[in-house]
Structures are given as C-alpha cells and as structure tokens.
Structure 1
Amino acid sequence: MELEIQGHKVFTLCPTEHFLFLFLHLYKHFSVSGAGIRHIMDFLMFLDKYNEDIDFTRIRLVVSQFRGELFYCSLLEIGKTYLGFSPQKSAELFSLSISRPELELLLEDIIQSGCFGNASKVQKLGSTYVMSYAISSETHRPQILPLLFPKAEFLYPSFPLLIRHRWLLPFAWCARILKFFWKTCRSDKKEVSEGIRYGKKRVRLLKKYKTFPGTVAKVDK
C-alpha cells in the first residue's frame, strides 16, 4: 500500500495486514511474557478507525489458524465492557460466550503485565517459567533441562559470540547458570517462589487460551 506523507511516497501495510500485525504482535507478547493495556488500545483503536477497510474474511481465517478465536473475542469484549469501544458487527467473527469471571482473569493478567510483562523480577522469572514449560511440553524433556540448556539461538542476544562460534555454547550455559544462581542467592527467596507461582498462573491462563509459545500454525498467504 502506497501513501504520500509530506510529499514523500511511503510504502506500508494495507489495513487488513496492519490489523493482522497488531493482533499477532499482541498475541506473541501475551503468549510469552504478557501484553499490556497499551497493546489492547492499539488493536481496538485501529479497528475502530479502519473497520470498513479490513477484510474480515481473511482475519477470520488467520485467527482460526492460530487458534486465537477465544483471545480475539475476549479483546473485543474488553473493549466493549471496560474501554468504551463499540466494534461493528462485521468485526465480531466468532460466536463465543465469555463469562465475566473469565474476562476479569484475562484483564488482571494484562494489567499486571505492564507493557511487556517484564516490569519486575517476579514477572521475568514467571516468563522464564512459562517458556521452559512450553519447551518441555513440546520436546517431552524434563522442564528444568530447556531452562538450563537452551538452544544457541535463544542465547544470541546475551552471548553474540555464539553466532560465529557455536562451540562456545557449553561455556555460555555455564556462565548463564552461574549468573542465575548468583542473582538468586543475593535476592529475596520470596521473589523466586512468587515468580514460579506467577508463571504457573500464566501457564493455566495460556492453556485456556491455547496460546503457548511454539504452538502457532503457519499462516497461509
């Protein structure tokens, strides 16, 4: 899609693809560390402005592929119930009933998550727990193993040397484990237990919404 801004041609996504991006970006953050209310507002405000230009047949197809029907409907319901949005009928793609307690559980998670779910050490530990749980569920290995010995790609941001020197992976594992235990020993033990408790709570929520990391289907173009 081509736009002109201050005399310059700018290429960007069409409303349908942009709306998909907002939903999937929100979905990704929610399924890993958590999504904040800002993500919800971006999603709802874009829908409110470009409702007439969005191809909801395509939206329905992609959301279904991602098993995101319940999550999508819950976002619309949050907008209607708490944020004053009134989505048009064309945007209401699935006939799912969502109870108030279910909606409040999701809203509580969104509010606690802040912006990206890493506002506190408890949330960061909880996110690590969620990721390790998801990996162990996929690989059928004990939960502690993927947490202690992740793939090299996962460690690239912290250990960029691994990009060219994969043989350094065992050293990166050791350094990471020592750093974790050093920080844990120096921190309040209550934070660790709260982080695990927070992670377990998010796992239950993600199971309900079928949004575990790594379980997403490929999108047909």
Structure 2
Amino acid sequence: MAPVPAGVLGAVDPTSDRAVFRQIADELREAIDKGRFNEGLISAEHGKGVFVRPRPPVRRLASDRFARRHRDQGKSAFIVEADAAGSRPEVDSLEVKEEKPSRDISARLGSPRKVLARRRRYLLDGRPVEFAVSYLPLDLARGTRIAEPNPGPGGIYALLEEAGHRLDHFDEEVRARMPSRGEAKMLRLASGVPVIHLVRTAYDTEGRAVEVCDTVMAADAYVLAYQLPAT
C-alpha cells in the first residue's frame, strides 16, 4: 500500500460541508481514474490513514481466452489471463463432488438429475480474485479425468474435446452486484468493493450444453474487454 500523497491532502477544503475523509476519497478516485496512481480502490486503516490498494486488473479477453489454440498448448483460460497480466496464478479451495443441481443450473444443462460440481478459488500473486463452480452432466464427467482434482493440461474443456464434444460456442451472462458475506470473505474484499457475477454455458457442435460455470470475481481486479463485429 502507498500512503496518501501530500498533493491530495493539500486539496482538502476545511470550509466545505463535506467530511474530510470524503474529500480525500473523491480526490483519490479522480487521481486513480486519470492514471496518476495505480489502478485500485482506497482503504482506511484505523490509526494509520487512508491508502491506495495496488491491485492491477486482469484483462479478460472474451473473444480470445477460450480459443482452441490455448487448449492445444495445454493452457486453461485462467492461465492465459495470468500470462497476459504477467502474474503468478494459483488455484486452491478445490472440491469435486456429485450433487443435485439448482433449478437454474439444471435448466441450462437440459435438466439432469445430478451433476459433477468442481469448486475452486483462483489467486494471482497470492491475491484471491475469483471463485468458480463448474457443473457438468454426469454422463460426460463420471469416471473420467474431469472428476479428478487436477484434470491436466488444458483443463476440462480440453478433456471434453478429447471425448468427442468439440466446443462450438459459449454464452455468457454478466452482472455486477455487492458480494455476500461469504463471498467477501472468500475473496478478501474490502468494504464497499462489488463483484462481477458471470455465468457461462459451453455448447458443443451438436448444440448440447456440456458445462455451466458460475463465477464470482472481485470487480477491482478485472477489466472485461470484448471485440464485437460491426456487421
């Protein structure tokens, strides 16, 4: 963390009806938006002061991160993102088990009675940035390496394609919201930091939904970048 620069403190107006801490916060946000400081939000430590949290964003290239060439190189989407950001990726809190899906997940996957759920938390340079759960139909996952804690190079998408389910496209739904208490603890979020909630459905060339991934991301750690055709 970096202490509040003197230039920001000098901008405080003692005659203003706005609280001093709010004036400092506004000045810091403006400085961050204009690129004078590292990208991030501010946080306050009791008895110490107000700080800028240096948390560089990951740039998610939506049109590229699931490209087949990355799977052919043995890279999962998260590894691709980490490489692009020059960061060290880690995965922890992994749980793999069969369970009954929620009504929403079941509907997205064609109403299976049970699914294989893979839960994991992703970290960059030791900082947790997202928590994700993948749901797969049991007839595709049971008894395969997909059901193992470490599925191997390329992740579960590479294994699905090896099994004959060549991926055709992904549908993503994205929204922003405030985190639950459990999500804030899992991602070690400071007070007031929102999350990006992304639900992705993967389809094979036969039109079957082969996976639903429910992901919660720290909003201050990501930039969502998309390329959209103009024709």
Normalising by the residue count of structure 2, what TM-score does the alignment of the two structures yield? 0.25
Greater Rg, structure 1 or structure 2?
Answer: 2
Normalising by the residue count of structure 1, what TM-score does the alignment of the two structures yield? 0.25
Give the number of the structure whose residues are more often strand, by fraction: 2
